[in-house]
Chains A and B, each alone.
Chain A
Amino acid sequence: GESVGLHLPTLSVQEGDNSIINCAYSNSASDYFIWYKQESGKGPQFIIDIRSNMDKRQGQRVTVLLNKTVKHLSLQIAATQPGDSAVYFCAENKGTGANNLFFGTGTRLTVIP
């Protein structure tokens, strides 16, 4: 499945399938991006980050792709598991000041057993 965060805030996938969660960012000068996972009743948890001098970064079962041409970020989760059910949101780092991280509203991923 694939989701654009602002237009399709929910995504349902079968257990074992791959998930793709998308995020459009606003500022072409943004140089650092972070994906967070937030389970119900918990705080946001860091998943993976990527800097603007890269277009791909892989972690354990997750891959982040960055397309600076269209200002688009995606999070791919391989072999989705029930424990992956959560809200996922991207954060965009704009500028050099301390108040420079801006968060999207997120996409809710539901894994169907």
Chain B
Amino acid sequence: NAGVTQTPKFRVLKTGQSMTLLCAQDMNHEYMYWYRQDPGMGLRLIHYSVGEGTTAKGEVPDGYNVSRLKKQNFLLGLESAAPSQTSVYFCASRWGPKNIQYFGAGTRLSVL
């Protein structure tokens, strides 16, 4: 049972480049989340989804887009990367709104 899998693990982008981060979960969870983690700050929610075909904005959505075409996958896109998006990105999933949220191992992104 893999849980929550994120790809890639590391990426370096130049300003203005685009990329997509992939999150896959094999626990049949309805809810999926994308967070960013910056030094000295708690996890901040970027976007989330409550089921296949749905997405919603979190606390810091600007500069990011998401899609949930399949229940098990949640994609995070950066259309035009900026240095302020240098961060560690975590995907998480859970069965319902009052359940444990399980996290992936993270993607370390540097934007030069």
Known: A32-B98, A44-B103. A103 touches B48 (CB 8 A): no
Q: Which of A10-18, A53-61, A67-75, A91-99 contacts B (4 or more CB under 8 A)?
A: A91-99
Contact A46 B100 (CB under 8 A): yes
* Nearest B residue (CB) for A98: B50
Contact B97 A42 (CB under 8 A): no
A28 interface residue per 8 A CB criterion: no
Tell me the complex Cα distance, A32–B105, Å. Answer: 24
B64 interface residue per 8 A CB criterion: no
Contact B106 A103 (CB under 8 A): no
Contact A34 B101 (CB under 8 A): yes
A49 interface residue per 8 A CB criterion: yes
Contact A105 B106 (CB under 8 A): no
Contact B90 A98 (CB under 8 A): no
Contact B105 A89 (CB under 8 A): no
Interchain CB contact (< 8 A) of A98 among B40, B41, B56: B56
Contact string against B for A residues 76-113, beta-carbon threshold 8 Å, 1 for contact and 0 otherwise: 00000000000001010100111111111110000000
Contact A104 B42 (CB under 8 A): yes
Contact A43 B106 (CB under 8 A): yes
A-B contact pairs, 7 of them (CB 8 A): A41-B106, A89-B42, A91-B101, A97-B97, A98-B56, A102-B42, A105-B42
